[in-house]
Amino acid sequence: MKKWRLDSYTGLGFLAGVLLTVAALVSCGGGSASAPMSSTTGTVNTYLSDPPTCTLDFQHVYVTITKVQANINPNAGPTDSGWQTLAAPTTPIQVDLMSLNPGATTNFCGTLFLLGKETLPTGTYQQIRFILLSNSPAPGTATPSSNACGNGNGWNCVVTSSGTSELQLSSEAQTGIKIPSPNITSGGLTVTAGQSVDLNINFDSCASIVPEGNGQYRLTPVLHAGEVSLNTNTISGTVVEGSGAPNPGAPIANAIVLLEQAPTGSTTDQVVPGGTTTTDANGAFAFCPIPASSSSSPAPPYDVVVAGQTTQTSLGVTTMTTYNPSVVFGVPVGGGTGSIPLFAETTTGSTTGLVTTRPASISGQITSTGGSKPTPVPGEVQLSAFQTATNGTSTVTITVPVFTASAAPSSDVTDSQPPIYSTDTASGGCATSTAACVAYAVAVPASAVAAGVYSPTSGNTVTAPSSTESASYTINVLADGSDSLLTCSPTSLTSSSLTVSQGSSTTTVNFNLTGCSAP
């Protein structure tokens, strides 16, 4: 899944549109929950995690946290009552989202960082607010004893191979980052009298950092939260080369892994919050923690979708191998997928340069208008690439990982796998005065899905797909008002089926969203 921001263009170039709006966050009003539990209170352990899927672009992402709060009222404003403290360190905490250190916590999920442990009144908290330290705090403001960002880069920063840049904040320092009810598992965090609950806040930095040009970056936050079970709430496995690949059984590093579920009554898988990761050098991956389900017990199973590419260098010659996407259906919470094979796509036609097998390219433009007149409505939309696969006797539509993504203009795309952007301008096939517009391009596997079903003994039954040379996709654009997206009517547009193949040829798919309003 990708988020694309649409801006309005005129004959003189493009005019910057409405940026992501972040709801106001307060730093006042709540009580500190340090009293012992009673018949009217429960304990909340608040953790922070982040899927480090953009380590090729960012070496470090430092943020400095001052406070985390919660409110039972989903519509509570900055000065309203009812705010309760989830975490309030005496000195703000600076953490590296690319390598969160679990510190003294002992739990199965090694990437969790304990922010605080507090006692709260019972109830279901439907709004969480996450406050960062200003990059230029007022005199007398408490700050950490040292600053990993260095002098002149604020207290929140991005470190790339080119150096350190301040991570520019909009309203996050003064008013905070709001995690609304739709972004909290089951719609809210339930605190039960006399019991303890573990809350994980997933800070998706890879989807939250937008390049602004000239080496500058801005935080446009994407956060989710939910109750977790620290010891058993995990799904893990490894990704390896399948039969026919250059090195069958060899681990595939940096493969993209998605954790998906179909909503009730739907046959289309969606990536769950925090459900994006990559494999390590040994081909291993783990989703931990997984949001707990309060609606059913045991928790419903998940589908694990993988895609990957590898490069090989021999005698100074580098070649690339692109693999099919694979899916393992029905993986239970606490289960292991075993070794998921990816089958190498076969070479078709001539190659360019030293690339052996290349992904397919899909591109086009997305426009958005509002009202009865074609008035441009800038904002963000989400784009996904779908394929179908057979799960036993049923056909399921899955979200396929995207290798690369770009948009024009360059500052108007956030990408969770990781941020990849172009230097194109408004002239990149998207110049119009009647609609907000973004030109997009994505690279996807050019082969059909290899499908298998979870097995408690072998891990999976994935077999080679029927074709490793072409694939049928549909492209979906979503604008439903969630995660700072535009709100449009209809909220979702899906293309007709299109067949893609390897190489430089590009399939064009355009979308026109209507009845839109800015977030």
DSSP letters, 214-256, are: TTEEEE---EEEEEE-TTT--EEEEEEE-TTSSSTT-B-TT-E
Report the DSSP beta bridge partners of residue 428: none
* DSSP E strand boundaries for 371-461: 375-376, 379-391, 394-399, 404-408, 413-415, 436-444, 450-453
For residues 307 and 450, the answer to whether their CB atoms sit within 8 Å is no
Q: What type of residue sits at position 293?
A: S
DSSP state of 482: G
Q: What separation in angstroms does the CA of 348 have from each of 140, 195, 318, 361? A: 65, 60, 18, 15
Which residues of the chain fall below pLDDT 50? 7-38, 102-108, 294-295, 348-355, 410-428
Domain residue extents for the chain:
21-220
Report the DSSP beta bridge partners of residue 488: none
Residue 447 tokens, joined: 């082969």
Q: Give the containing element (helix H, strand E) for 168.
A: strand 163-168
For residues 327 and 398, the answer to whether their CB atoms sit within 8 Å is yes
Per-residue model confidence as pLDDT tens digits over 264-289 = 888 899 888 778 888 888 888 878 76
Q: Give the containing element (helix H, strand E) for 4.
A: strand 2-10
> Measured at the alpha carbon of residue 201, what is the angle toward residues 55 and 43, in degrees to the nearest 5?
145
The pLDDT value recorded for residue 255 is 92
Flag whether the pTM goes above 0.85. no
> Measured at the alpha carbon of residue 377, what is the angle toward residues 181 and 381, in degrees to the nearest 5?
50
* DSSP E strand boundaries for 288-378: 302-307, 309-314, 317-322, 326-331, 336-342, 360-370, 375-376
Q: What separation in angstroms does the CA of 57 have from each of 273, 349, 356, 416? A: 21, 32, 24, 11
